[in-house]
Chains A and B, each alone.
Chain A
Amino acid sequence: MDTKNILDIIKKHNKNKVSLISILEEIQGAYTYLPEKALRLLAKETGCSLTDIYGVATFYKTFSLKPKGKHCVSVCLGTACHVRGAQNIVEEFKRELSISPGETTPDNEITLETVNCLGACALGPTVVSDGQYFPHVSKSSVKEIITRTKGGGRSIAAEADIRIFPLQVSCPLCGKSLMDHDYIINGHPSVKFNVSMNGKKVWLRMSCLYGKHTVELENQLPPNELSRFHCPHCHNEFPSFSTCPECGASMAALFVREKCSWEVCMRQGCQGHILNLDQINLHKKSDKGKNK
């Protein structure tokens, strides 16, 4: 456990015990669970008693005091799934993984959980593995779900498992890295570039976790206004290829491993973003940028 990282999280919330739940969420996001050391540190920093913090951490089901595995499989035991035999599915998972719900396999691969309704009752019995829904699960498909889960899954939703989506981002024009290894957001180096609006220029740091939307600004900019994104190294404006699926504004393209583009909406406050795997198009544009 990295003390500095936890201190950063606590500092970000001004060491304020009012933000206790947000802080706990962030720690859990970074470590998959709440380490005892982190809670003790939190008590010391915020002045909130360890007893109270522990009470909150054990009250909410989202918080876990035990490390979770790399992958999380949740079997629905809600009414609709239950009457379709979800209990048998749980039994099958227990048998295949040799663990009970709430536990993690000894190799730290899979955490098995049961939930009460995933909101997809018509698809029951439903199983969700790292954000991917498996409908009409039968006992015989349990093995396959486990195999696919361990393999990382094929169409895993971006937000589902933050640990598989830290991106390495660089400027599409000068190719220099935009990663700031000294400034951690959500437990990973942040992505840093400059934003300008009406002649005002500030830095922006965002989480490199795809789907996380954690953004920090040097100074507050008016919300819902369009801004422009610049590279901090070559000072050029990032190219734009698409419009935002959320609000229609133009999006700035950043490079991910010199192959794909991560496009981020330039409207302040909008969370629209796309991961574009179409590379050719981008290479052309980037060449143009380099020739400039």
Chain B
Amino acid sequence: MINLTINGLPVSVEKGTTILDAAKFYGFPIPTLCHKEGLSPYGACRLCVVEIGEGSAAKLVSSCTYPVEDGLKVRTASERVLKARRIIIELLLASCPQSKTIQDIASRHNVRQQRFRQEYEDCILCGLCVRMCKEQMMAGAIGFRGRGQNRSIGTPFDIKSEVCRLCGGCIEVCPACQTRCTYTEPGKAICGGCANLAPPCIEKEQFHDMMCYMSPCVACEIKKA
């Protein structure tokens, strides 16, 4: 067991636990965005920052990727952490203001405006979809491409993937495209998948181990009935 203190409270957790999990277990909330149970930690969004160490050695780390250490002193809500978190939220809002997930996080943290140049990105490169596809859907159909400004998510060679299971898992976890479904305004609808009574997954018979992630879809059940 590893002994550490979180916000002054001495606690002990198993070796290998992340600060995030330890804090959650002891009831200290830490907001997250690119972290999801069942997927490996990735540390892309930095929303989960906490402060560790003391005095001049104190530093900010992402709690979702930082394994606990003996004697670690963690502060999950210090002045510095709150300030950094607000800036991160502002940056997220600056790149993807239309995301419901990000809007919710902003309002929970009382961030009412952002001071950066406004952009409208489709993707915040959180990597959730990539990990979902690879680790839960065992498909590895999508991944990161390019670098820096040109980094993007997609399939190799930008062509339809042969290994995609059409499970919808990537869309389900995406914090940026959650608001994209506009089926109530059919003119603007992107896919209409939810109203599709002959969903493509049914034709994809080659997937003997079809994994379905779309909890509201149930189109296959309707067809059976």
Contact = CB atoms under 8 A, between A and B. Distances in A.
B146 A58 contact: yes
Nearest to B146: A58
* Band of interface residues on A: 10 to 19
A241 B37 CA distance: 69
Interface in B175-216: none
A54 B147 contact: no
B135 to A, nearest CB: 12
Contacts of B145: 54-55, 58-59
A54 B142 contact: no
A36 interface: yes
B74 interface: no
* Band of interface residues on B: 10 to 19
A54 B151 CA distance: 12
Given A36-B157, A39-B156, A51 B147 contact: no
B146 A51 contact: no
Interface in A50-81: 50-55, 58-60, 65
A49 interface: yes
Nearest to A40: B156
A50 B155 CA distance: 9
Interface in B101-157: 134, 140-147, 155-157
Interface in A19-63: 36, 39, 49-55, 58-60
A55 B157 contact: no
A52 B143 CA distance: 7
B147 A49 contact: no
Contacts of A55: 143-145
Contact of A52 (B140, B147, B157): B140
Contacts of B147: 58-60
A49 B155 CA distance: 11
A49 B134 contact: yes
A49 B146 CA distance: 16
A40 to B, nearest CB: 9
A200 to B, nearest CB: 46
Contacts of B156: 39, 50-51, 53-54
Given A49-B134, A59-B146, A59-B147, A54 B157 contact: yes
Interface centre among A51, A52, A58, A60 (most CB of B within 10 A): A51
A175 B156 CA distance: 50
Contacts of A52: 140, 143
Contacts of A58: 145-147
Contacts of B141: 51
B157 A51 contact: no
A39 B157 CA distance: 11
Interface in A94-121: none
Nearest to B156: A54
A117 B85 CA distance: 37
A39 B134 CA distance: 19
A51 B141 CA distance: 6
A215 to B, nearest CB: 33
Contacts of B143: 49, 51-52, 54-55
A49 B143 CA distance: 10
A52 B145 CA distance: 9
Nearest to A59: B147
A49 B144 contact: no
A60 B144 CA distance: 13
A51 B135 CA distance: 13
Interface string A220-239: 00000000000000000000
A65 B155 CA distance: 15
A255 to B, nearest CB: 45
A54 B161 CA distance: 13
B168 to A, nearest CB: 18
Given A54-B145, A58-B146, A58-B147, A49 B140 contact: yes
Nearest to A43: B156
Nearest to B157: A36
Nearest to A60: B147
B86 to A, nearest CB: 32
Interface in A233-275: none
23 contacts: A36-B157, A39-B156, A49-B134, A50-B140, A50-B156, A51-B134, A51-B140, A51-B141, A51-B155, A51-B156, A52-B140, A52-B143, A53-B156, A54-B143, A54-B156, A55-B143, A55-B144, A55-B145, A58-B146, A59-B145, A59-B146, A60-B147, A65-B157
Interface of A: 36, 39, 49-55, 58-60, 65
Given A36-B157, A54-B156, A55-B144, 11 more contacts: A49-B140, A49-B143, A50-B156, A51-B134, A51-B156, A58-B145, A58-B146, A59-B144, A59-B147, A60-B147, A65-B157
Closest 5 CB pairs of A and B: A51-B143, A54-B156, A49-B140, A58-B145, A58-B146
